[in-house]
Structure 1
Amino acid sequence: MTGTAFELELKLECEISDCDTLVDRGSPIPVAVWGRQHLRATYFDTPERRLASEGFVLRIRSEDGDLVQTVKAASGPSTGLFARGEWEKALAEHQLSLGEDAGPIGTLFGPDVIERIGPLFTTDVDRRVGRCDQLGARIEIACDSGAVLAGERELPLCEIELELVEGDASALFTLARAIAERCKVRLGVESKSDRGFRLIDHKLDGAVRADPVRLSRDMTPSEAFAAIAASCLRQYRLNESRFLAQGAAGPVHQARIALRRLRSAFWIFSPLLRDDPRTAQFIEDLRWLTAQWSPLREIDVLLPRLGEAERMRLTAIRAEAVATLGETLDSARARLLPLELVEWLTVGGWRSGEAGSVSGALPVFAAERLDRLRKRIKRRGKSLAKHGPEELHQLRKDAKKLRYATEFFVALYPGRKARTRMEDMLSALEDIQDLLGELNDETDAGHLAAQWNIPWAEVVRRPGWRRKRLSRARKNVTRLLDVKRFWRSAD
């Protein structure tokens, strides 16, 4: 068997009990017969991950005794769906065969790379698989439970994969929602190879920062928004999963950052979205979800500043807040929101017709939006020392938006001069954000201390602390405005 295919797949994270519900307990999903497979796969790359860096995954999988070599390649930015080219080749023995008939690896990489490709990790999975018809589409459903293995280390996995065999992608989401009504599934954003690389890199714990967004100048604004939103959703889901497993402060902070980045993307690309009737509801849902994480973040900011006795008391309050947030994240509204966003990003009305029409190339669109944010900061930065908490909060939000927009669009403006200007601008924005953030945290901490009867007078800042930070913030606004705009080469 040798063949080339294109794979469109939607992943749902779940528990083993969810797979049992779907397969064995009278599921409403119309699958006539469920088959069983035992799949053991070995994943290969060079020690420095040359294949992965170019977007390729290489594996040999044993499918009930038959050996199949597979090369997978990402087709470009996706919106939560795994959209990949796939080349398969039957093997007689467990040994790589990377000739011209084995996909692009054998032709794109020279002998210096091919000779250093070796095994990195394996997956061992029990799969229950069936097919169903949904809205005129044929979909393969695979319920996988097993583990990723690397030496003595092991990472359990359990997921439901929905692969489009034939038909429209919207059918995948219809089926996913039907499953979500029966099982507590969540949008999956990691492939099995992603999990394997995490395992061998010892990155199973801790918070996940945002990955760079890979935009190109020939993208349309719609394509750019989809890629940025996908990146934000991935960061959110990775941190949500780690919070649910650990309850630690780091994932709380990064989950909130992911949601703020996504909300900023909605603002930045609002000219594309304003005519789509679902936009306002998504903005409201994201605001609601962000608010659910806020109490824990406020506690985490306050905890380090307390004495031992008060810290112990607030730690107990934090444990209750962790449980409350966990219950909220288990709700249908919280679980389904990422899935609904991915569906809308993929097949929503904003992508076609008047709702998605914006004239001009992406660099031009980006420059206009960056200019607008800079003007808002210039306007709000005047008389900064006289601003009240709400005005400072609005200025801080604008600084965040401009920082996120800069990070989103950086790849569109190459060159050493543009990069130097961008770095100077980011430095000023980070200082503004940090300084105003400290002021905001101080206000919140005082309110929380009063709420929990904590003797706040023992931990308040020294006199003049607020005035000094406002003065430094004002200087950084001036520094920001003095930097030539990296997106305007004529400046």
Structure 2
Amino acid sequence: MPRRPSNPSPGADKAAASGSETELKLSLPGADPARIGTLLAQLPLLANLPVAVQRLDNVYFDTPDQRLHRARAALRVRRIEVDGVPARWVQTLKTAPTATGGLSQRGEWETPVAGPALDLAALQATPAWPALDPDGTLWPELAPAFVTEATRTLREVQGEHGARIELVLDIGRVRTMAAGESGAATPAPGGKKFSAGQRRKTKAPAAGPAASTGQGEVALCELELELLAGQPEALFALADQIAQHIAVLPASVSKAERGWRLLEGTTHAPRRARLPSLTRATPVSAAAAAVLGEALGQFLDNLGGILQSDGPELVHQARVGWRRWRSALWMFKPLFAHHPLPDAAPLRPLLKAMGATRDLDVAGLESLPPWSEAYIDGNAERAEQWQAMETAVQAERRIRRAGLLSVLQAPATGRALLQLEQWLHALPQATAATDVGAQPLGHWARRRARRLHRRLKQAVRALKNAPAPTPPTPGSSTTMPPVASPDHQHRVRLLAKRTRYVLQSLTLVLPKRRTRRWADRATDLQTRIGAARDLMLLANLLEPLGVDGAILGFMRGVAAGRLADD
């Protein structure tokens, strides 16, 4: 149900208000929570708009085995406090969200309640609860799980073509519940509590810049744009106006999901690839939206993680998400004659910074460690050289990560990402009625996959048959064409990655045995070329850091040996 800056009286109608919410969620990379409200108020489009401020305390409920969470539903009791007005309580049930191009849509039922206790009658009055708890066994198991606390600033903005949008700034935290605490709401009727022993086994969340405000909690600083009236395109238009002045990042993780991640110790876990739900009868236009949406979601979620933690796997999985996006763009390229892509040039600084960061991560964590003993070989002087090299690599890693964070906190980056999401949101409608978009996916996907596999086979054949580069002979400036150069190998590696990602995304609609065989071969090829390439580039990567020449020579020898073997 759309929220309002008003505060209805406690005697308001208690029937469950029903509907669906359409919203666009934005994180605020690099924002100072103490100043972001002032910066927003200074934007011309928000100047002089009425502002309402609320204090929100929410307790989320679930069963010890997380039946609501597993059903992608959320149940909370909220205490709303406004200066000079008695606090009121609202019970909210939300069902599984669907996301299209960054917009989240989900069922939502809100009911004013007398106090902090759950109200079974209000739940049973919703169309969603009977499906979640058909036999009544879930209700007695409900217990408080975690808490969100925030100061909420609300404005209603007039958007394009008569649209009305509620712009919400939330600043606060998500936290686990202390031992014996029931929070703003009392335990469920069964009297049970969400004890640590009933939660999934957890571990302490990894530390990171601005990641948490203390033990068992994570900070909140985000915008929500909720559509009150009009078309969803108005949300993107308003977000674009904000992004021209303030750094934003499209975000899909709800407060409830953050709470579960906090309980599970996965707050900073990377998001890996997920399998889109497709069938052979799925129209190509709908399949394109699903595959591209999943890849872009992986990219964006890991970018959000990079802002919270310096885990190297977050950078790796963000790059995987982008590669999967690019691979899907190739797969569905025939659609885009009817729906041209936005300019991705503003994202080049981000992609370059991610690549530079990943190169040092691979060097420091994967390529160099296996060779330390072979180089040192009990020699104290070499051990000192190696230690100095490791120190230099770690210092450069910190410099490159700082550069990556700087790019993520640039308004141009968020604006370009929003344009991708807006393009993706419009993709199904723009292409559904076209000759390609209306085709069933099954046969069409098989043709595209065979074409991609043929290209990879041809590239590998050329790589195997190509002569190695030959240095110039004395007195001559000519060389044998470097067909099998590192750049050529890299192109084959990228083609192998594309093949792998396309096959994985479409695995539900392609022949299983053949698809598995092709994917395994592409993965093996990608791994073999990648290992050799990483070693070949390592010395060039280390040289500008002032690494001792003996180490550079040693690593070049290792790379040459690996290249000869491959």
Normalising by the smaller structure, the TM-score range is 0.7 to 0.9
CA–CA distance in structure 1, aligned partners of residues 334 and 172 of structure 2: 45
Q: Is 1:41 equivalent to 2:32 in the alignment? A: no
**TM score, norm. by length of structure 1:** 0.86
**Which residue identity lines up with residue 62 of structure 1 in the other structure?**
R
Change (3 A) 1:356 1:108: farther
Please tell me whether the aligned partners of residues 17 and 111 of structure 2 are also in contact (alpha carbons under 8 angstroms): yes
Is 1:435 aligned to 2:528, yes or no? yes
Name 1:129's counterpart in structure 2: 154
Q: Report which stretch shifted further, 254-263 or 448-457.
A: 448-457
Given candidates 352, 355, 359, the residue that maps to 1:291 is: 352
Unmatched 5+ residue regions in structure 2?
1-13, 82-86, 179-215, 373-385, 467-483
Q: Does 1:243 align with 2:257?
A: no
Q: Report the AA paired with residue 431 of structure 1.
A: D
Matched, 1:446 2:472: no
Q: Which of these residues, 310, 315, 321, is aligned with residue 400 of structure 2?
A: 321
1:34-183 matches, cutoff 5 A: 34-64=51-81, 65-74=87-96, 76-93=98-115, 94-97=117-120, 99-109=123-133, 110-135=135-160, 136-152=162-178, 153-183=216-246
| Letter aligned with residue 104 of structure 2 | F
Residue 269 (structure 1) aligns with:
332
Separation in 2, partners of 1:108, 1:247: 38
Q: Deviations over 1:427-454 (max 9, x none)?
A: 3332221111112212321322344453
> How far apart, in 2, do the equivalents of 1:462 and 1:285 lie?
35
Tell me the equivalent position of 2:270. 207
- Which letter maps to 2:94? K
- Aligned equivalents of 1:359, 1:430: Cα separation in 2: 32
Instruction: Say which SS state the counterpart of residue 50 (structure 2) adopts.
Output: coil
Range that drifts further, 124-133 or 200-209: 200-209
- Paired residue secondary structure (2:253): coil
AA of the residue aligned to 1:427? D
In 1, the alpha carbon distance for the partners of 2:72 and 2:100 equals 13
User: Residue 75 and residue 88 in structure 1: after superposition, are their counterparts in 2 closer, same or farther (change >3 A)?
Assistant: same
Shift of 1:189: 1.9
2:347 and 2:447 map into 1 onto residues whose CA distance is 25
Deviation (angstroms), 1:318: 2.3
Cα distance change on mapping 1:322 and 1:407 into 2, 3 Å: same
Change (3 A) 1:412 1:108: farther
Q: Which residue of 2 aligns with 1:482?
A: none
Q: Does the CA-based 8 Å contact 1:31-1:131 persist in structure 2?
A: no
Structure-1 separation of matches of 2:242 and 2:99: 26
Give the SS at the match of 1:369.
Answer: helix
Q: Deviations over 1:237-277 (max 9, x none)?
A: 23223323333422221221111111111111111113434
Does residue 375 of the first structure (1) align with residue 454 of the second (2)?
Answer: yes
Give yes or no for the alignment of 1:390 onto 2:482: no
Are 1:300 and 2:361 counterparts?
yes
Q: What is the SS of the residue equivalent to 1:182?
A: coil
Per the alignment, residue 553 of structure 2 pairs with 457
Alpha-carbon distance, 1:300 to partner: 1.7
Q: Distance in 2 between matches of 1:27 and 1:362?
A: 47
CA distance in 1, matches of 2:439, 2:141: 45
Q: Secondary structure at the match of 2:223?
A: strand
- Give yes or no for contact 1:12–1:187 (8 Å, CA) kept in 2: yes
1:142 deviates by 1.0
**C-alpha contact 1:21 1:27 (8 A) present in aligned 2:** no
Q: Which residue of 2 aligns with 1:344?
A: 423
Matched residues in 1 for 2:282 and 2:120: separation?
A: 36
> Is contact 1:210–1:258 with CA below 8 Å preserved after alignment?
yes
Give the letter for the 1:407 counterpart: Q
Asked if the contact 2:166–2:228 (Cα under 8 Å) also holds between the matched residues in 1, the reply is: yes
- Residue in 2 that maps onto 1:311: 390
Is the Cα–Cα contact under 8 Å of residues 22 and 29 in structure 1 kept in the other structure?
no
In the alignment, the residues of structure 2 paired with residue 134 and residue 295 of structure 1 have an alpha-carbon distance, to the nearest angstrom, of 40
Q: Which amino acid aligns with 2:522?
A: L
Aligned to 2:95, what secondary structure does the other structure show? strand
Alpha-carbon offset, residue 107 of structure 1: 2.9
Residues 24 and 393 (structure 1 numbering): CA distance in 2 closer, same or farther, change over 3 Å? Answer: closer
Matches of 2:106 and 2:163, distance apart in 1: 19
Question: In the alignment, is the contact (CA less than 8 A) between 1:60 and 1:96 conserved in 2?
Answer: no
Displacement of 1:217 in angstroms is 4.5
Structure showing the higher helix proportion among its residues: 1
| Alignment RMSD (CA, Å) | 2.7
1:37: how far off? 1.4
Greater mean alpha carbon deviation, residues 48-57 or residues 143-152: 48-57
Structure 1 residue 80 displacement after superposition: 1.1
Distance in 1, Cα, partners of 2:91 & 2:240: 33
Q: Deviations over 1:10-53 (max 9, x none)?
A: 11112324641355446532663111112111222233332233
Task: Give the direction of change, closer, same or farther, for the CA distance of 1:77–1:288 in structure 2 (3 Å limit).
Answer: same
Give the count of matched residue pairs: 463
In 2, distance between residues paired with 1:405 and 1:289?
24
Partner of 2:23: 9
Q: 309-318 or 209-218: which moved more? A: 209-218
| Contact 2:59–2:144, Cα closer than 8 Å, also in 1 | yes
Find the residue that maps to 2:168 and give its secondary structure: strand
Task: For 2:39 and 2:279, locate their aligned partners in 1 and report how far apart those are by CA, in whole Å.
Answer: 41
What is the CA deviation profile of residues 142-196 of structure 1, one whole-angstrom value per residue up to 9, with x for unaligned ones?
A: 1111111212421111111110000011111111112122322221221111111
Picking from 456, 461, 466, the partner of 2:563 is 466
| Deviation, structure 1 residue 359 | 3.9
Instruction: Give the C-alpha shift of residue 112 in structure 1.
Output: 3.6
Residues 174, 35 of structure 1: alpha-carbon distance in 2 compared, 3 angstrom cutoff: same
**What secondary structure does 2:275 align onto?**
coil
User: 1:77, 1:227 within 8 Å by CA — same for their partners in 2?
Assistant: no
What amino acid maps onto 1:97 in structure 2? L
Q: Whose radius of gyration is greater, 1 or 2?
A: 2
Paired-residue identity, % = 29
Aligned counterparts of 2:445 and 2:47: Cα–Cα separation in 1: 46
CA shift digits 1:193-224 (9 cap, x unpaired): 11111111111234332333333445322222
Q: CA deviation at 1:128?
A: 1.1
Partners of 2:402 and 2:452 in 1: CA distance: 38
Q: Any gaps of 5 or more consecutive residues in structure 1?
A: 471-491
Q: Which amino acid aligns with 1:198?
A: R
Q: Quick check: 1:125–1:146 contact (8 Å CA) kept in 2? A: yes
